[in-house]
Amino acid sequence: MRDLPADGAWIDDRRKAIGAAIREPRRSRRLTQDDVWMAARVNRWTLQRLEAGEEVTLSTLLRVAHVLDVPLADLVR
């Protein structure tokens, strides 16, 4: 078992990486944020927060990953 680092910066780094892992396939497919949030049935601002690396719910992450056909495991490695 690994110990958590004393500061939470690593969490911020992981969230930003997850946001990029969502944003990149969206852009490569030439989808707008509007396309994705409507298909995923999430709030526009929630998708923006996800791509910016802010906290969102697991349900939101699952919905957006499904719409973009991005395996969840690829996002959280």
Concatenated DSSP letters of 44-66:
HHHHHHHHTT----HHHHHHHHH
Mean pLDDT, the chain, integer: 94
Summarize the confidence of residues 4-23 as an average pLDDT: 91
What does the block give as tokens for 75? Answer: 């996002």
> Which domains, ranges and CATH numbers included, belong to the chain?
9-75 (1.10.260.40)
For 7, the 3-state DSSP assignment is coil
Residue 49 pLDDT more than 80? yes
What does the block give as tokens for 35? Answer: 């396309």
- Residue appearing with tokens 């500061």: 7
The pLDDT value given to residue 54: 97
